[in-house]
Chains A and B, each alone.
Chain A
Amino acid sequence: MSLPLLIMGLPLAMAGLTYNLRRWLWAQVVLAVGTVLALIVLVQLAPVDQMVVFAGRDVLLRASWELLGRSFTFAASDRALLTFVFSAALLFFLAAGAARAPALFLPVGLGLLPLLQATVFVQPFVYAALFLELIAAVAAFMLADREYARTGGALRYLVFVSLGVPFILLAGWQLEVHQVSPDDALPLLRATWMLGVGFLIVLAVAPFHSWVVMVARDAPPLAAAFVLAVVQAVVAFFLMDTLAQFDWLRTNAQFFLALRLGGMAMAAVGAAFAFSQRSLGGLMGYSALIDWGATLVALGLGTPDGAAVAAMAITVRVLALVVWGVGAGVLMGALGDDYENLRGRAREYPFATAAVLAGGLSLAALPLMAGFPGRWTLLNMLSSAHVGFAIGLLVAAASAWLGYARVLHILFERPESEDEQGYYAGPAEEPVIIGFAVLGVLLLLWVGLAPQLLSPLARRMVESLVQLLA
């Protein structure tokens, strides 16, 4: 049996089963969580290309699976990355149980896992772009439903991925041309351009960023958070894998400069609009844009520490967005997305409010929150050679902080008819939401105070690139 086939087939089969159980959320959650736990165990412990005895039978788990002349290959270096993807999915699936996510979230989330894995396994790896396109198409099913019927975000996401993917595929073809005639530098130059443009589009670098904010505004909060945290993380690791594969790309200073400038463009757009947002989703979208921009700037430094900081930011973003997604799911589900509807409602939803603010402020890299240590390290790195970038990122972060300060003010605003209602109306939240919100906020604070808990794990995901850049 082939290990890639096994760990891609398992969530796919479970996605079908989960879809049929969509009337019973608890059963969906148990099945989805059990599946990702099994996947984590498989990825961590499965012996590859060795004969093992399982249930009294000899089983050989091969590292590769051939399909129509292309292979899906599991490498030992993929273990850390896959564990991250499955752990992130585990958190989101648990959160789906707490926040009563849309019925399709869990089956579609499980269905996305094989596609996310395929982007890691497929050889030649540029074909991963085809799976990015499939991911965008499948994700549409969880980015809109009857309750969140605005389809603009899902559509825009699909459009931009469809525009970016051809560039990456054509870059792969130019690389093949270069292998045939290695003395000709033109195909390599074209491949660099095509890879650069393709990645800038699929990573939502400004001016291709609009889908991020639209998804954050239009989609169910947990689904939007999943796409922005997990799916985009896999895209970023695809970029890092590309850098690790090609010496000529790693030594291309202009490519790294483009990453830094692209990251700063994202941060600039986020800074321009974050503070003036009038919806929770919009604020999260622009905060995520700033955070992704900082990640690209870190990667664009082209140093081992820069790559490690980028991996840390990607990891911490998952925590922040899960906590935000739970809180926002409660608030937006009950009250809507607009600030006008949220005025003074913190007293009814104190724990959801805490989750939204803690998740959002971690995304905005407020000191003491989980997102801050990585951003601080990045600012330190930038302060020596790129002071302007450091100041730009600080201004962008301040814009997001200001945005969340406005949310704080609006949510805690005292109602005009306070005498009639009394200030504290009692929480309208279920115990599971309260538990999840409390744990999430504590976790974000804990990681903010002790980032060394996660940083070695994050660094392991990009170990090969870190070594090559060193």
Chain B
Amino acid sequence: MPGAAEIIARLPFWAGAPAVGAVFITAALLVIAEDRRVLVFALAAQYLFVGLLYTHVLAPQIAGIKITAGLVVWLIVFFSAQQAGWRPAAERLGRAGVWVIGARARFRVFSVILAALIGWKLAAPGTLPFPVASEYVAFAALQLACQGLLLLGLTDRPLKTGLGILTFLSGFGLLYSGVEPALMVVGMLAVVDVAIAFAISYLAVVQAGTSGIAEVAKR
């Protein structure tokens, strides 16, 4: 089993292309998937790799704050998904199963591809007025921002809307930390993430509790 020193030595590799790929895949999963188990797993993976990407623009100790905040956010979302029920609404209502790719899912895949192309074009040098600390960071941040915006446009349910906000703010946070690495700002952005996680969890539980979905979904 690798020791801590070995893990730290390998971090630069994992914070490069693998992190960008993972961030893109998890953001796409957040847009496309309906099953909350997949969403919660994707969010966990996304925060882990976004945390690694932060090591390009922040000192490792400060990047650690972001990873810790991500962990807190994930725990809040995990428990709220557990409270509101794991199974997707479509399955609860007796519609198509998880593994059937319906028209909605196909549309979302197509939208994800379009948003990815927009993010890719925006990441080209000179397109946006950001100092590029690393091409990996710029690409991942713009993918997160675009997929987050897409997610906000495609859903009106609390949990997924909240995941959209968190994804969008993760992308913005990566870009902004490059230009404003002050500890107070990084900390405040982490506090904002946690506050949003609390808010969406509360709204998800309120909605599920009153519609009686939670009880049905837990069965």
User: What CA separation (Å) do A70 and B185 show in the bound complex?
Assistant: 9
Q: Please tell me which one of the listed residues A67, A141, A155, A163 contacts residue B161 in the complex, with CB atoms under 8 A apart.
A: A155
Q: Please tell me which one of the listed residues A68, A130, A173 contacts residue B183 in the complex, with CB atoms under 8 A apart.
A: A68
User: Which residues of chain A are within 8 angstroms of B191 by Cβ–Cβ distance?
Assistant: 134
9 A-B residue contacts at CB 8 Å? A137-B195, A140-B199, A149-B206, A155-B156, A158-B161, A158-B196, A162-B169, A163-B168, A169-B176
Interface pair A141/B202, CB less than 8 Å apart:
yes
**Known contacts A133-B195, A137-B196, A158-B162; 17 further A-B pairs (Cβ under 8 A):** A68-B182, A70-B184, A130-B188, A133-B192, A136-B199, A137-B195, A140-B200, A144-B203, A149-B209, A151-B158, A151-B207, A155-B161, A158-B161, A158-B196, A163-B152, A170-B179, A190-B129
Interface pair A68/B210, CB less than 8 Å apart:
no
Chain A residue nearest to B189 (CB atoms) is A130
Say how far B173's CB is from chain A's closest CB, in angstroms: 9
User: What CA separation (Å) do A70 and B188 show in the bound complex?
Assistant: 11
Say how far A150's CB is from chain B's closest CB, in angstroms: 8
**Interface of chain A, main secondary structure:** helix
User: Which residues of chain B are within 8 angstroms of A172 by Cβ–Cβ distance?
Assistant: 180
Say how far A117's CB is from chain B's closest CB, in angstroms: 15
Q: Given A155-B161, A159-B161, does the pair A170, B176 have CB atoms closer than 8 Å?
A: yes
Q: Please tell me which one of the listed residues A69, A155, A166, A174 contacts residue B184 in the complex, with CB atoms under 8 A apart.
A: A69
Say how far A115's CB is from chain B's closest CB, in angstroms: 10
Interface pair B176/A166, CB less than 8 Å apart:
yes
Interface pair A155/B182, CB less than 8 Å apart:
no
Say how far B106's CB is from chain A's closest CB, in angstroms: 25
Q: Please tell me which one of the listed residues B169, B189, B196, B206 contacts residue A145 in the complex, with CB atoms under 8 A apart.
A: B206
List which A118-153 residues lie within 8 A (CB) of chain B: 127, 130, 133-134, 136-138, 140-141, 144-146, 149, 151-152
User: What CA separation (Å) do A174 and B158 show in the bound complex?
Assistant: 34
Chain A residue nearest to B148 (CB atoms) is A162
Say how far A67's CB is from chain B's closest CB, in angstroms: 6
A154 interface residue per 8 A CB criterion: yes
User: What CA separation (Å) do A242 and B145 show in the bound complex?
Assistant: 27
User: What CA separation (Å) do A52 and B161 show in the bound complex?
Assistant: 51
